[in-house]
């Protein structure tokens, strides 16, 4: 990770490191008020004349003035936000989780997200109604096919300590609550907590003798680990190994959904961590949970 956070220690713009990436130092514009980017010949499209130690506001104004139209301005600011987010996420994984960062993987992720963002902007400009409809659908729970069921899971973390609540909920194609489970555990990181929630969902389905199920979570990084062959962080290696083997044996599929489409599992986890969830919540759901389930049934 040191390669992602140092500044000024290179031999010119064509460094032999050739990470091909716009690297922000630990004094990032977002969190420290100034930016000190270093250029490695990145193909992400940033121009050298904008690389300076000026405040973020001046840098932003310079970029905006150089753009010929509003669409180009949105694209440029979106690129800056995407790259900054990728770097900050990688930095936090290294600092807080001691996860070894692969610079080239960070580059690929930023490039992919940038292309995806540009595609969305282009689609929005050409067909704003269809994009808005797609976003609205994406931000709500979607039912499984008729006669099928699916599982949603989530976690909630105590403000102090490592206490974590896990929630798993089973719903049918009509949005009805069929079954579920909540649990309190202690975790060493957010990633481990999210992995344990998906692991609990798999164990829950396996205990019921169910197979060919869809498991949804709003933690994209862990879902990506569930469906890939990437080596997981050490603290959740065992859970991810179980998830992959169980998923393959029982034909489970794993999908990422936005938080808004995972509202029931999120509410359950949050209520459990606050000791506000009654023991008979499945048989007699609290009023707020009933309202969330009704909202899901309307979509179905």
What pTM did the predictor assign?
Answer: 0.57
Q: Tell me, what's the pLDDT at 115?
A: 67
Contacts for 207 with CB less than 8 Å, ≥ 6 apart: none
- pLDDT one-digit tens code per residue, 187-216: 999 999 999 999 999 999 999 999 889 999
Q: Which CATH number fits domain 149-299: 3.90.470.20, 3.20.20.70, 3.30.420.10, 3.30.70.100?
A: 3.30.420.10
Among the listed residues 174, 155, 151, the one whose alpha carbon sits nearest the alpha carbon of residue 293:
174
Q: Tell me, what's the pLDDT at 69?
A: 81
Among the listed residues 186, 196, 188, the one whose alpha carbon sits nearest the alpha carbon of residue 241:
196
Among the listed residues 169, 173, 215, 180, the one whose alpha carbon sits nearest the alpha carbon of residue 299:
173
DSSP assignment string, 31-80: HHSB---B----TT---GGG-SSSBHHHHHHHHHHH-SSHHHHHHHHHHH
CA distance 175 to 293: 6
Q: Tell me, what's the pLDDT at 84?
A: 74
Q: Tell me, what's the pLDDT at 281?
A: 95
CA distance 219 to 174: 24
Q: Tell me, what's the pLDDT at 12?
A: 31
> Alpha-carbon torsion 99, 104, 105, 106, what sign?
positive
Alpha carbon distances (Å) from 226 to 21, 110, 196, 215, 217: 27, 21, 12, 11, 11
List the structure tokens of 41. 């010949």
Q: Bridge partners of 181?
A: 168
List the structure tokens of 16. 């032999």
Q: Tell me, what's the pLDDT at 202?
A: 96
Asked whether the beta carbons of 22 and 43 are under 8 A apart, the reply is no
Q: Tell me, what's the pLDDT at 86?
A: 76
Starting at the edge strand that comes first in sequence, how are the strands of the sheet with 163-172 ordered? 177-186, 163-172, 149-157, 214-217, 253-256
Where in the chain are the domains? 2-137, 149-299
**pLDDT < 50 positions in the chain:** 1-42, 45-53, 127-137
Q: Tell me, what's the pLDDT at 67?
A: 78
């Amino acid at each position: 990770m040191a390669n992602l956070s140092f500044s000024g220690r290179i031999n010119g713009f064509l460094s032999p490191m050739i990470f091909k990436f716009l690297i922000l130092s630990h004094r990032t514009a977002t969190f420290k008020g100034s930016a000190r980017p270093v250029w490695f010949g990145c193909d992400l499209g940033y121009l050298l004349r904008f690389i300076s130690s000026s405040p973020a506001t001046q840098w932003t104004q310079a970029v905006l003035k150089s753009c010929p139209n509003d669409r180009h301005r949105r694209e440029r600011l979106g690129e800056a936000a995407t790259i900054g987010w990728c770097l900050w996420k990688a930095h936090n994984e290294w600092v807080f989780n001691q996860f070894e960062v692969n610079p080239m993987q960070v580059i690929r992720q930023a490039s992919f997200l940038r292309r995806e963002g540009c595609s969305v902007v282009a689609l929005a400009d050409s067909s704003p109604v269809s994009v808005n409809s797609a976003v609205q659908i994406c931000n709500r729970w979607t039912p499984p096919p008729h006669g099928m069921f699916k599982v949603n899971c989530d976690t909630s973390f105590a403000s102090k300590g490592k206490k974590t609540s896990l929630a798993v909920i089973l719903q049918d194609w009509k949005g009805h609550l069929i079954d579920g489970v909540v649990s309190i555990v202690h975790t060493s990181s957010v990633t481990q907590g999210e992995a344990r929630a998906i692991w609990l969902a798999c164990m829950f389905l396996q205990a019921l003798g169910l197979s060919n199920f869809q498991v949804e979570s709003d933690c994209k990084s862990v879902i990506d680990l569930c469906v890939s062959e990437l080596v997981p962080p050490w603290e959740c290696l065992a859970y991810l190994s179980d998830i992959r083997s169980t998923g393959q044996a029982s034909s489970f599929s794993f999908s990422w959904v936005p938080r808004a489409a995972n509202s029931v599992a999120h509410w359950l986890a949050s209520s459990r961590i606050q000791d506000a969830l009654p023991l008979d919540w499945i048989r007699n759901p609290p009023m707020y949970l009933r309202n969330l389930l009704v909202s899901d049934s309307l979509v179905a």
